[in-house]
Structure 1
Amino acid sequence: KPDSEEQKPVALNENVYQDDEGNYKVRRYKLKFSPDVVTGSAGYNTFFGFAGYTTFLFSDLLGDHKILLDVNLLSDLKNSGLNLLYLYLKKRINIGIGGYHQAYFFSQFGSDFQRYRNYGLTFLASYPFSKFNRMEFNLNWYNISLEYLNFDLPDQKVSTILPSLSYVHDNTQWGYTGPIAGSRYALNLLASPKYNDNSLDFRTVFADYRKYLKLNREYSFAWRLSGAASFGDNPQRFFLGGIDNWINYKSRGRLRTDLDDVFFSSFVTPLRGAYYYEGEGSRYLLSNLEFRFPLIQFLGLGFPPIRLFNIRGSLFYDIGTAFDPGENWYSNSKWRGTYINENGQRAFKDLVSGYGVGARVFFLYFLMRFDVAWNYDLAGSSKPIWYISLGGDF
C-alpha cells in the first residue's frame, strides 16, 4: 500500500486465545517436520574415488526431533547409497536410530571389478556431562559383502555386532583450516563378539589426545598423540603411513582388498614422509607436531584467471610405529626401535618418521592440502614425497 495510507491495527477476537477467565489457552503441541537443509556434497576416498550425495535435514519447530537423509541413487538398491538417521534431542541424553546401505566399486587392474556393500542398523546415545565433555554409546549391526563382478569367484561376507563406548572432551577453537586453541581427547572401547561363523572376534582400545597452542590470531602450534591396541582371534590391523584422502597416493605393495583390511582395519595418519602400509600391526603409536602460519594472503593469476585467498602454511614432524605383540598380549618383544644398518649407522627399524612443509587453501568446493615431506631414519633423509589431499588439519 502507499505510505500515505494509514495502517490500521487488525482486531483479533479474544476468545481465540483466551478462556472465560482471561487466561491464555494451552494447546497440545503437534509434531510436524519441515525441511531445514537440502544440499549436495562431494568427497574423495583413496580407494573408491570421488563420491557425491544429496543431503536432506528435517526438524520440528522446537528442534527436539531431527531426520537426516543422505541419498546417492543409481540403477537399483544394490548399487546405491542411502543413510537414514532419526535423532531424539528433547532430553539431556540424545538418542538416535538409523539404517544405512553403501555400495562401493573397486578395480585395481582395470578389469577386476569388485562391488563392496556395507549395510546395517545403528543405535546411538550421547550423554553430556558438561559443555565440553560427553559419553557416547553406539551399537551397530554391521554387514559387509564382497562380490566379484567379472570373475566367477565366491562372494565374501562378514556380519557382526559392534558395540562401542567413548569418553570425549573437546573445547577447541577453530581457525580457517583446523583447530588453533584448546584441547580435545577421546578414549574409545570397541568390540566385536563372535556370535556366528561370519562374525569376527576382537576388542580394541583407542586413545587420542590433541593440544593446540594459539600464539596469536594467525600462528599456532598443534600436537597430537594417539595409539591403539586390538586383541582377540581376529584383531584389527593398523596400517601406518601416508595421509587421509591422498589423491596421488603411493603404497608399499598393492592395496589390500580383503573385507577385513578394507572395513575393519584403520589407516594411521598423518605420517608424512612415508607411503601407505609403511608399517603394520595390531598395535600402533603416533605423534604429530605442527607449526601453522599464514603463507600467502592473496595470489592472483592473469591466466588462468584464478584468485586464491588466505593460503595457510604448515611445518611438521611425524613419528610413529605399528607392530604385533610377542608371545603374550602384553608383550612387545618383537618390536625394535633402532638397529645398526649395513653402513654401521644407527637407524630406525620399527619406527617411521618424516618432516616437511605444506600449504592449505580453499579451491572451488574443496579444502586442498599440498605437502612435501622427507623420510628421516636417524641415518639420513630420503628423496621428497609429494602429497595432494583433501580435508582439514587434525
Structure 2
Amino acid sequence: MTSLLAATRRDTTRSGTPAGAATLADQPRAAASVYRSPTGFRASSAAPPKTDSTTGATAVTVRTLLDSATSLPDTSEFTFKAYHTRFTPDYVARPTVGYERDNFGRGFFGGTAISLSDLLGNHTLVFAGAVNGRLSEAQVLAAYINQAHRLNWATGFTQEPYYFYQPTTIQAVAPDTSLLTVGIRRFVIRDGFVQAYYPCSRFSRVELGMHAVNISDAVLQQQYLVDQAGFIFAQSDLQTKNNPSITYVSPSLALVHDNALFGYVGPFAGSRYRVQFSPNFGDWQFLGGLADWRRYFFARPFTLAVRGLFFGRFGRDGDQFPVFLGSTELIRGYTAGSLINNECGTSTTTTTGRTGCSELDELIGSRIGVANVELRFPLTRSVVLGFLPVGLPPIEGALFYDMGLAWESGSIVKWQRDAGDDPETVRSPLRSWGGSIRVNFLGFVVLRFDYTKPLDRLRNKAYWTVSLGPTF
C-alpha cells in the first residue's frame, strides 16, 4: 500500500493536480481510494481531468484484444467438415379445400404447394398438387432444381388436365322428343422432363430439354331428353368414352436473350427474344417452332414497344392442340365471348369447322403469326389518397395496333379474302386498334383496361376488356 501511494504521489506530481481535487496525502490513509485512468492514478473523490474524457479511441490491435479478453478461441482446434445438403421449407402455399358439384363429375376440390431448398440455394425441391373431382384429373408437379454450377438443370414430373367443349348435338328420337348431347373432350397430359440452362452471358442463355409425354384422351358426355318446348324431363348418367392414349418424346433446343428493364406494369427499355425448335417422335409426329422477338425503344417519358411472334406445328400430327388467337395477350378485339354473343348467334352452322361458327373458327389454328405496336406513356406520376395514408403507383396509358393470323395445314392464306371465299379454309390477317390503361394494384396484380375497335369483324364496334398480368 505504501509503494502504491508513493507511486501515485509521483504520478500526480508529474501530471499536476486538477483544480479543486484533493490529493491522496490530504486524505486519511484508511479512506483513500484511487481510480486508474489512461494518464495514471487519481483519487476517486477527484473530478476526472479533461484528458480522461477527451482522449480519442485507440486503434484496435492484437495486443488490445488480448488484454480485453481472458481467452480467445484456439484456431488449432477448428475443424473442417464437408457441406451436406439439408432441405428446409422456403414457403408453403395455403391449402384450400371445397366442394362444388356439376354434371361432369366435379365435386371436392383443393390443393397446396411447398418449396424446399438448402442453405446455399443450390438445390431446390418443389411439390404441388390440386384435385378437382377425380384423382385421375389431378394437377401434379414434382421437380428438383440444381443451381450449384454454371450449368443449371432441373428434372421432374407434371400432370395437367385440359378440357375442350365438343359441339352440342340434337337428335330427334320421337315426334315430340329430342336427344340433346353435351360433351367435353378431356386430355390428361403426363410429362416427365429434364431441362438444362447454360448462360452464355449475363443476358443470353441456351436451353436444352427432353420431354417424355403420355396423353390420355377421353370424351365426357351427358345426354338429355327434351320436349318441343325445350324442357328437360330425363337425363343420363355421365358417360366416359376413352380414346387410345398418345405417347411421344420431344427434345428441344432454344436460344434466349433478355436485357429488358421492367417498370410498374411491364418492360420499358431493352429487348427480348426466344427462338426454339422441338421435334416430336412417337404416336404424334410433328415439328414445333417458336420465334418471339420484342423491342422497347425508350425516349423519356415514352416507350415504343414492338413485338413479332410466330408459333407453329408442322408435320403429320401438327394440327393437334390448336391455338386460339383471340386472347388479349395476342390480339385484342376478338375475344371468344364477344364473338359467341354476337356473330356466332346469327352464323350459319358449318360442318367443317371446329366450333360450328366460322367467325370463331378463323381464330383457331395450329400456326399463328402476331404483330403488335404500342406507344406507352405515363398518365399519372403518383396518386396519393387524401383519406388514406397510401399512395398508388403511376398509371400507364397506351395506344396500340394489333394484327394476327391463325391457320392450319390445309388453309389458304391471303392478305385479303375475296367475296366468295370460305373463312374456314381461306385465312387472312385480322386487325384492331385502340387505347389501354394499365395500373399496378398495390403490387398485387397488374390490371389492364383495353378499349379496342376491331377492323375485320361484322360487329366492328369498340368495346372494353379487362385483363390481368403485365404487358408484353
Q: TM-score, normalised by structure 1?
A: 0.72
Distance 1:84 1:339, change over 3 A: closer
Aligned to 1:152: 239
Q: Give the aligned partner of residue 233 of structure 1.
A: 316
SS at match of 1:250: helix
Distance in structure 1 (CA, Å) of the matches to 2:289 and 2:83: 44
CA contact (8 A) 1:239 1:278 kept: no
Change (3 A) 1:178 1:92: same
1:27 aligned residue (61, 76, 81): 81
CA contact (8 A) 2:264 2:440 kept: no
**Residue number in structure 2 paired with 1:164:** 252
Partner of 1:314: 398
Q: Which amino acid aligns with 1:167?
A: L
Q: Distance in 2 between matches of 1:97 and 1:137?
A: 12
Change (3 A) 1:77 1:325: closer
Q: Is the 8 A contact 2:314 2:409 kept in 1?
A: no
Determine the structure 2 residue equivalent to 1:3. Answer: none
Shift of 1:81: 2.1
- Sort the Cα spacing of 1:179 and 1:11 in 2 relative to 1 into closer, same or farther, 3 A: farther
Cα offset, 1:292, TM superposition? 1.4
Q: What residue is the counterpart of 1:95 in the other structure?
A: 153
The answer to whether the aligner puts 1:335 opposite 2:413 as a matched pair is: yes
Distance 1:280 1:41, change over 3 A: farther
1:188 aligns to 2:276 (yes or no): yes
Structure showing greater radius of gyration is 2
CA positional deviation for 1:84: 1.3
CA contact (8 A) 1:249 1:387 kept: no
1:166-192 CA-to-partner distances (Å, cap 9, x unmatched) read 010111111111111110111100121
Q: Which residue of 2 aligns with 1:267?
A: none
| 1:203 maps to which of 257, 262, 287 | 287
Letter paired with 2:297: L
Q: Does the 8 Å CA contact 2:324/2:364 hold for their aligned counterparts?
A: yes
Shift in Å, 1:311: 2.6
1:203-282 matches, cutoff 5 A: 203-216=287-300, 218-236=301-319, 237-244=322-329, 249-251=337-339, 277-282=361-366
Kept after mapping to 2: 8 A contact 1:374/1:381: no
Q: CA deviation at 1:358?
A: 1.2
Shift of 1:129: 0.7
Q: C-alpha separation between the residues in 2 aligned to 1:106 and 1:285? A: 23
User: Which of 139, 146, 152 pairs up with 1:81?
Assistant: 139
C-alpha spacing 1:280/1:78, structure 2 compared with 1 (3 Å): closer
Q: Is the 8 A contact 1:116 1:144 kept in 2?
A: yes
Would you say 1:386 and 2:464 are equivalent positions?
yes
Q: Highest relative contact order (Cα 8 Å, sep 6+), 1 or 2? A: 1
Residue 234 to residue 130, structure 1, CA distance change in 2 (3 Å): same
Decide whether the 8 Å contact of 1:353 with 1:376 is kept in 2.
yes
Change (3 A) 1:225 1:10: farther
Displacement, 1:280?
4.0
Partner of 1:258: none
Distance in 1, Cα, partners of 2:120 & 2:70: 28
Distance apart, 1:320 and its partner CA: 2.1
Residue in 1 that maps onto 2:33: none
Q: Which amino acid is 2:377 matched to?
A: F
Using structure 2 for the length normalisation, give the TM-score. 0.61
Are residue 68 (structure 1) and residue 126 (structure 2) matched? yes
User: For the Cα contact (< 8 Å) 2:336–2:360, is it kept in 1?
Assistant: no
* Alignment CA distance shift 1:63-1:308 (3 Å): closer
Give the whole-Å Cα distance in 2 for the aligned partners of 1:337 and 1:114: 34
Would you say the 8 A contact 1:66–1:88 is kept in 2? yes
Q: Distance in 1 between matches of 2:135 and 2:70?
A: 54
CA change 1:40–1:164 in 2 (3 A) is farther
Using the alignment, how far apart are the partners of 2:146 and 2:326 within structure 1? Answer: 39
User: % of aligned pairs identical?
Assistant: 29
- Whole-angstrom distance in 2 between the partners of 1:340 and 1:107: 31
Q: CA deviation at 1:103?
A: 4.1
CA gap of 1:248–1:381, structure 2 versus 1, over 3 A, is: closer
Q: Which of 371, 374, 377 is residue 450 of structure 2 equivalent to? A: 371
Q: Deviations over 1:63-90 (max 9, x none)?
A: 2211122232566632432211101111
Counterpart Cα distance in 1 of 2:360 and 2:383: 34
Give SS of 1:95's match: strand
Q: How does 1:99-110 map to 2 (within 5 A)?
A: 99-103=157-161
Greater per-residue helix proportion: 2
Aligned length: 335
Name the structure 1 match of 2:39: none
Summarize deviations over 1:323-382 as a string: whole Å, max 9, x none: 3467xxxxx9x321125659xxxxx971111101111223474322211111225x9992
**Partners of 1:113 and 1:238 in 2: how far apart?**
17
RMSD: 3.9
Whole-angstrom CA distance in 2 between matches of 1:301 and 1:359: 23
Give the Cα–Cα distance (whole angstroms) in 2 for the partners of residues 176 and 278 of structure 1.
35
User: Equivalents in 2 of 1:376, 1:41: separation in Å?
Assistant: 46
* Farther-moved stretch of structure 1 (82-91 vs 69-78): 69-78
Give the match's secondary structure for 2:136: helix
Report if the CA contact (8 A) 1:372-1:384 is conserved.
Answer: yes
Q: Whole-Å Cα distance in 2 between the matches of residues 73 and 191 of structure 1? A: 32
